[in-house]
Chains A and B, each alone.
Chain A
Amino acid sequence: MAQMDMDQEKLAAALKARDPAAMQQLVEAFGQRLTRSAYLLCGNENEAQDLAQDTFVEAFRSAHRFQGRSSVYTWLHSILLNLTRHYRRKRKKLIYDNELAAQEISAPEEHPSALDVDCAATELAQALQRLSEPHREVLVLRYYERLQIAEIAQSLGVSPGTVKSRVHYAIQEMQKLLPAEMNLFGAGGTNEMETK
């Protein structure tokens, strides 16, 4: 987690006192990572910036509710998740172009074994945006924010078992959306998924 060494207790106290310098410090420390996380959740750069801004504003408003049971960043990310859900509910869902998807899938790969990070980021981002909201959230929290299952459960307000189930099905769904030659688990990995 970025800049977790900062004195979070003092920062939280300054936020509760509505100290503008504390907000400045918060933006400096977490603004970049939060914007990137928002981008993965919503898939649009301008909206990601708006979401990040609104997250900080909401944090400033509701600083008195921060109990210190999680890190400041986890708290900020919970606000971001709520705002993203609200935003997605309001936004009309994009209709995926099936013909374009077929073209993407049929694109040849020279080394189709494991996921090639350099080439696959775009396809993976597109697949991420086509996942259901709960599945997208757990993947971002687990594999981008690198939170533990218990932390994700706390952030989403669900049980750890639910988080594990969502991660499992999200990966299955993601694998289906990716081109056939892009295997998230490496060569021969998908069969194991079914037995898990």
Chain B
Amino acid sequence: MNCQRFQKELYEYLDEALSPAQMAAAKAHLLECGACRASVRREQQLAQSLAGALEQNAETIAPDAEARRDLAQAVQRKIAAAVEPAPIPWWRCVAMRLTATSPVFTLTPLLTALALAWFFFGTHQSTTETSRMAERPTTGAVLVNVSYCAPNYTFQRQGNMVIDALTCEARVVNGSLLAKN
């Protein structure tokens, strides 16, 4: 190891962060190089004096037991203020916003769409079971009697709570279809 290499690794030598082989080479170099030994002494003296002065300066604000307690309380207060509440699902936000204007709010458009979907796609099976096809009249018209269930989804706000309820209303539709000749 030469002086240039040692100077480059001076801090690692002082930190004892060199590999065993590098450390042995550094020590061997120090035995034969007075300038590098002086560098090590200089750095050690600097560390000692600077650390001492910094410690002394920092201790001017030495927190006592009361100050530590104040720090802990201040941290707890800030944490309590900073911690955000658990996230609210988007649909609950919408419901709360809607119910804020009216205690009982019916989602008319959505439920209408649901009822129509139920009628057209979900009631074919039940139609065959529950509806009664009237007897084919001699005039060629067909009487249709359909009963179906319309869901009704409501939200109600009570204090900070939102209570939702799903009810089902039975409906009957009568009509007649003209038969094609």
Contact = CB atoms under 8 A, between A and B. Distances in A.
Interface of A: 18, 20, 23-24, 27-28, 31-32, 35-37, 39-40, 45, 48-49, 52-54, 56-57, 60-61, 114-115, 117-118, 120-122, 124-125, 128, 139-140, 142-144, 146, 148-150, 164, 167, 171, 184-186, 189, 192, 196
A131 to B, nearest CB: 12
Given A184-B46, A192-B42, A31 B71 contact: yes
Q: Is the interface of A mostly helix, strand, loop or mixed?
A: helix
Contact of A164 (B11, B54, B61): B11
A139 B79 contact: no
Given A120-B53, A143-B47, A196-B7, A36 B75 contact: no
A149 B57 contact: no
B12 A196 contact: no
A16 B143 CA distance: 69
Contacts of A32: 62-63, 68
Given A35-B61, A164-B11, A184-B46, A23 B75 contact: yes
A48 B71 CA distance: 11
Interface string B10-46: 0110010100000000000000000000110010011
A157 B94 CA distance: 44
B50 interface: yes
Given A28-B68, A185-B42, A146 B58 contact: no
Q: Is the interface of B mostly helix, strand, loop or mixed?
A: helix
Report the 9 A-B pairs with minimum CB-CB distance, sorted nearest first. Answer: A36-B58, A115-B49, A148-B15, A117-B52, A144-B54, A143-B50, A121-B56, A121-B57, A56-B75
B72 interface: yes
Contacts of B39: 192, 196
Contacts of A37: 58
Contacts of B46: 143, 171, 184-185, 189
B75 A57 contact: yes
Contacts of B49: 114-115, 117, 184, 186
